[in-house]
Amino acid sequence: MKLETYIKKFERRVKKHPNDWQIHRKIGKRLVYKLKKKIKRNPKDISLINWCGIIALELNDSDLALEMFQRAVAVNSNVQTLNNLAYFYQIEYDDHQRAVELLERAVKMEPNSGLPYGLLGEAYLDLELYKKAAEAFTKALSFEENPSLLNNLGVALYKQGKIREAAIHFQKSWKSEDRIKDNFLDLILNYGVWDEYLNPVLSYGVSMAQLGKTKEAEEVAGKLKLFVKGYLEAGKNPIHLDIAFLEIAEIYYEAHSYTRANEMFHAALGPKMTYGISPRWISQYQYSLIQCEQLQEAEALLKKVILDTQKLMEEILEDDYYTQEEQQQHVDDYTQDIEEYKDLFQKVREGHPPSVDFCPPVMGNCYMFGCMRHGRPVYIKNEGIIFIDKI
């Protein structure tokens, strides 16, 4: 069987079973073996090297993937090789600085693709270089307008305090994705509890609340509540919804709709929910309760979270899985949480509203040239295609 046929067969397997790499592992290992033999005979064929790196990633062989991507750059430092090595550092190693260094070299070549700019924007976000991130995402959007780039530009603007401009891009991201418009049930059944495409909806809602647009904010919160309702009606486990309830509560809290915020906080912080047990969320809930003249409930909540935290400490001390040093570290962390619960509650009773400190989520994207899983083409410039022309 020709190598080209193997590559196409492997690509079909990946697309058909994207989350089960064991299914295409056998053909992938054989394909890597064939590619390595070809590379040995053609050591400067960056197309062969790139394919080997991509397939190695699909096989979870990070060492081989890194070796191939580094080799490709050494043979020919062009837009594709620099970008793909940067993508590896950004995603696999969280080495954002090294990714930026490679990508800044790539964009100096004036690529006719938005991938290097989008990836550069994400790396800048991770380095908290928000102005540069906004510029990179804006450039990427000049090639292709998609929900993730719009959302991430919104994140970069929000981080600069440009909430109004950020809200515009969060809304565009939300509206540009057909799946988000009305049918939340499809998301529930096909994409999990809190699909990342709901993130711009959340960010838009919080932004509207912070801008004083209460009506718009509550409309967004209502749409997200439809998601929760559909999730429950689909027979899904409600214990997985604590984060969704809390995110919706955050919109109502910022909009000063405290009664509705309390409903969502209660749903998230009930007996079966554990995710939201943190000083941040608890203090916001207590403030909302006090604003609704429910001081006793706020005091009872303080007692409950302290008892729950003490129980967690006891469980840690009784668990042989942890070393003595690890146990002490957890106990110190929980003790600090208890003191923070008490301190924040005192401030809440004095009328000081806890800040939300909202951090809009970044939407991930694939920026690898030639990625089979996401159907990314190889890089094309001036009609010169970097590909395996002859196999």
- The full set of domain ranges for the chain reads 1-108+367-391, 178-364
Widest Cα–Cα separation across the chain: 78
Could you tell me the pLDDT band of residue 11, with boundaries at 50, 70 and 90?
A: confident
**Structural contact between residues 224 and 174, judged by C-beta atoms closer than 8 angstroms:** no
Whole-model pTM over 0.75: yes
Banded pLDDT at 390 (limits 50, 70, 90): very low
pLDDT tens digits for range 168-207: 999 999 887 544 444 555 554 454 445 566 889 999 999 9
Question: Which residues are within 8 A (CB) of 17 and not within 5 positions of it... i.e. 6 or more apart?
Answer: 23, 24
Determine how many CB atoms are found less than 10 A away from the CB of residue 164: 14
Cβ atoms of 274 and 240 within 8 Å: the answer is: no
Q: How far apart are CA 307 and CA 286, in angstroms?
A: 16
**The pLDDT of residue 328 is above 70:** yes
Beta-strand ranges (E) seen in 274-333 are: none
Max mean pLDDT among 177-186, 250-259, 378-387 falls in: 250-259
Looking at residue 282, what is its pLDDT?
Answer: 92
| Distance separating alpha carbons of residues 146 and 279, to the nearest angstrom | 36
Which of helix, strand or coil describes residue 193?
A: coil
pLDDT tens figures, 348-373: 999 999 988 889 999 989 999 998 88
Please give the share of the chain, as a percent, with pLDDT higher than 70: 85
Q: So what's the pLDDT on residue 92?
A: 93
- How many Å apart are CA 139 and CA 288, to the nearest integer? 42
What residue type is assigned to position 382 of the chain? N
pLDDT score of 275: 53
Count of residues making up the chain: 391
Q: What is 1-108+367-391's CATH number, 3.40.50.970, 3.10.180.10, 2.60.120.10, 1.25.40.10?
A: 1.25.40.10
What mean pLDDT, rounded, does the chain reach? Answer: 86
Amino acid at 120: L
